[in-house]
Structure 1
Amino acid sequence: MDSRCSSSVDSTGVGSINNALLSARVDSYEAAEKKCISDVRRTFCLFVTFDLLFISLLWIIELNQVKGSIEKQLEEEVLHYDYHTSSFDIFLLAVFRFAVLILAYAVCKLRHWWAIAITTAVSCAFLIAKVILSQLLSQGAFGYLLPIISFVLAWIETWLLDFKVLPQEAEDENRYQSIIDATAPLMCPGPLSDGQFYSPPESVADSDEDLDDKHDPEKGLIQQVT
């Protein structure tokens, strides 16, 4: 009896520990799911912001390289925009990438590659046409530095999303689902054992005949005389 009780207690203790560990892991994954954005996606959004700020910085540096005040150069680049000589459109291209990617992957939390595919395709087509048709290459180092860096940053964003963000989030979701599937049978009540339906043996003193004799004294006296 003692060995059976100890084994049942041990098995119950081990099962409760496993359930507690699985519940803790499920709670940790649920807490991660409740976060507004995952860590890898937040890194991607930070890089998209870096793309906009870096292109803006290079564009301002390019404006300072030209003779004259920066206000005059901004007026020349923006108000008197010329596709062949102005690099203001490269800055607007960075703004376009930032707006679309942040809206899709930070605000809407999109889990598909179509948004990054659109921004990368538009960026590549525009930059290639810009280099071929414009006169930026004749304006010094920044004339070809801005298109090259914008092209490279667009493809780095594509690589980050396609090879880091989406696979990592899919792996985390599959791991969470596997833990839920493994925890579900343990959380359900198992089959009832025979011990749960155990009833003590009937007492001889409390048999039906004795109970009848107690309720019928005359019958008891007759049985004692006979």
Structure 2
Amino acid sequence: MNPLPQNMENALTGSQSSHASLRDVHSINPTQLMARIESYEGREKKGISDVRRTFCLFVTFDLLFVTLLWIIELNVNGGIENTLEKEVVQYDYYSSYFDIFLLAVFRFKVLILAYAVCRLRHWWAIALTTAVTSAFLLAKVILSKLFSQGAFGYVLPIISFILAWIETWFLDFKVLPQEAEEENRLLIVQDASERAALIPGGLSDGQFYSPPESEAEMRKLRPRKVN
């Protein structure tokens, strides 16, 4: 016999795979499908995923922690009122910590606006804040005289730098991949439920039976003896 053409083999293979997938979809319990869909839709109705909420909490922690360190620095170096006037009113790039606090405010506003209010699903906002933070801190450490002002000259720039890069890592490796995976699962479950709804209910084994043969039919089927 001649072998089947290549296109016919591909057609048969595709048909077999489609029938197999339909059998798999039909084997899924419809109750489980509806429960999964409702769970995913419930997450969408919350407006923000759990991992994104954790990210926003960490961004808030970034602002509060830098603010706390700055207030401690103000209180240590001669009282809050005098030091605040010196660092804010008489701002000096080479000796003031006020710009590091403003940098934390900048990160907080951009990231909360992008990933909590606008629910952005891209990395450009976190890339902007991290790039600005890194460039500014590197320039300030090189040009300023913070190291001659005690331990806070080391602590505030290092903490701000580390927090900015932790936010970048958390968004890029946790928030965006996990949300994309959840969305893909939702699409797969919805597609499976739609295909299962198009398939008629499976027939049970009891619907296929052979009626018992009568005695007369059994006699007809028996071979006759030839004399």
TM-score category of the 2 structures, normalised to the smaller one = 0.7 to 0.9
Equivalent AA in structure 1 for residue 155 of structure 2: L
Please report the TM-score for the alignment, with normalisation by the length of structure 2.
Answer: 0.75
Seen in structure 2, the aligned counterparts of structure 1 residues 192 and 86 have a Cα distance that, compared at 3 Å, is: closer
Gaps of 5+ in 1: 1-14, 194-226
CA deviations on 1:141-183 (whole Å, 9 max, x unpaired) are 0011100000000000000000000000000001111111111
Between stretches 49-58 and 28-37, larger displacement belongs to 28-37
Q: For residues 37-59 of structure 1, give each alpha carbon's deviation from its aligned partner in whole angstroms, at most 9, with x where no partner exists.
A: 10000000000000000000000
Alignment of 1:33 with 2:44, yes or no, is yes
Q: Which of these two proteins has the greater Rg computed from alpha carbons?
A: 1
The aligned residue for residue 106 of structure 1 is 116
Quick one: distance in 2 between partners of 1:130 and 1:108?
Answer: 32
In the TM superposition, residue 188 of structure 1 has moved relative to its aligned partner by 2.0
Deviations 1:1-34 (A, max 9, x none): xxxxxxxxxxxxxx79811211111111111111
1:46 and 2:57 are equivalent in the alignment: yes
The amino acid across from 1:173 in the alignment is E
| Change in 2 beyond 3 A, CA 1:20/1:56 | same
The answer on 1:92 being equivalent to 2:102 is: yes
* Residues in 2 aligned to 1:161 and 1:191: alpha-carbon distance in whole angstroms: 45
Aligned letter for 1:63?
L
Q: How many residues align?
A: 178
Residue 67 of structure 2 is aligned to residue 73 of structure 1: no
Seq. identity, %? 71
User: Relative to structure 1, is the Cα distance of residues 17 and 147 closer, same or farther in structure 2, using a 3 angstrom cutoff?
Assistant: closer
1:166 aligned to 2:176? yes
Rate the CA distance shift 1:139–1:188 in 2: closer, same or farther, 3 A.
same
- The CA deviation string for residues 174-205 of structure 1, in whole angstroms up to 9 with x for no partner, is 11111111111111253999xxxxxxxxxxxx
Residue in 1 that maps onto 2:29: 18
* 1:27 to 1:154, Cα distance in 2 relative to 1, 3 A: same
> Structure 1: how far apart are the matches of 2:102 and 2:156?
12
Residue 55 of structure 1 is matched in structure 2 by 66
C-alpha separation between the residues in 2 aligned to 1:183 and 1:17?
9
Q: Per-residue deviation at 1:72?
A: 1.2
User: For residues 191-210 of structure 1, what are the structure 2 equivalents within 5 Å?
Assistant: none
Q: Which structure exhibits the higher relative contact order, with contacts defined as CA atoms closer than 8 Å and separated by 6 or more residues?
A: 2
Query: Is 1:64 aligned with 2:75?
Result: yes
User: What residue ranges of structure 2 are gaps of 5+ in the alignment?
Assistant: 1-25, 204-227
Paired residue for 1:176? 186
